[in-house]
Amino acid sequence: MFKRKSKLKRIFDDKLRSLMTETRDEWEQAKFIENHLDDYDQEVFIRRKITESKHFYLYKEAKARNLGRD
């Protein structure tokens, strides 16, 4: 009974880790695009802020779950 719970936790923790790496990559790509624009584009700024918010939300969730570097 308890093995199933630990297995599910491990599966969801792995999904959380992969989501964190994906959002970090998207965030860095958005920062790169924003830095290399010639003029100010509000849509690019908004997309960067959205990806940044997603990444930090996942970071806080990982911290709450006590996920460390394994």
> What are the pLDDT digits (tens) for 25-66?
999 999 999 899 888 889 999 999 999 999 999 999 999 988
pLDDT of residue 69: 63
Whether the CB-CB separation of 55 and 20 falls below 8 Å is answered with yes
Give CA–CA dist 9/42, Å, rounded: 39
Alpha carbons within 13 angstroms on the beta-carbon side of residue 66 total: 1
Q: Name the pLDDT band for 21 (thresholds 50, 70, 90).
A: very high
- The answer to whether the predicted template modeling score (pTM) of the entire model surpasses 0.85 is no
